[in-house]
Structure 1
Amino acid sequence: MADDKSKRDFRDRDRVSADEDYEVEYFAETAGITTQQVRELIAKHGNRRETLEREARALRGQ
């Protein structure tokens, strides 16, 4: 089910939803990795933004 864009609160701001393409694309662009890499990181490490940012930095460093 898609997010209701008219309901604006900040409960899930610390998460990246793998089900929402725009969230994956935005995270990939800001982290400097591909959308496929983002989906793989979410599958492996969960969807907490803090963890994903750390893992994306490590991935870029390789």
Structure 2
Amino acid sequence: MADNKSRKGKQDRNQVSGSENYEIQYFKTKMGVTSQAVVGAIKATGSNDRKTLEEYLKKRHNK
């Protein structure tokens, strides 16, 4: 699904688009992981929900 930059609602902020490089870059910096880890988390969880991805990455990288 393409990112609609004219739409600035809450729903858009709660998602990390795997097809938008700037969103992956921001999220990887925030979480302290690689871009591959972010894309892998999206694939592994089957979700692009920010909270779901944060939880997944925290569990995977705190072992």
- Shorter-chain TM range is 0.7 to 0.9
Partner of 1:40 in structure 2? 40
Partner of 1:51 in structure 2? 52
Find the aligned partners of 2:27 and 2:7 in 1 and give their Cα distance: 19
Find the aligned partners of 1:58 and 1:39 in 2 and give their Cα distance: 16
Structure 2 unaligned spans of 5+: none
- Aligned pairs (5 A) from 1:8-27: 8-10=7-9, 11-27=11-27
Partner deviation per Cα, 1:19-46 (whole Å, 9 max, x = no partner): 0001001101100110001000001111
SS in 2 for 1:12: helix
Structure 1 unaligned spans of 5+: none
Could you say what the CA RMSD is over the residues aligned between the two structures, in angstroms? 1.7
8 Å CA contact 2:3–2:17 kept in 1: the answer is: no
Find the aligned partners of 2:58 and 2:30 in 1 and give their Cα distance: 11
Deviation at 1:4, TM superposition (A): 5.0
8 Å CA contact 1:32–1:60 kept in 2: the answer is: no
Alignment-mate amino acid for residue 19 of structure 1: S
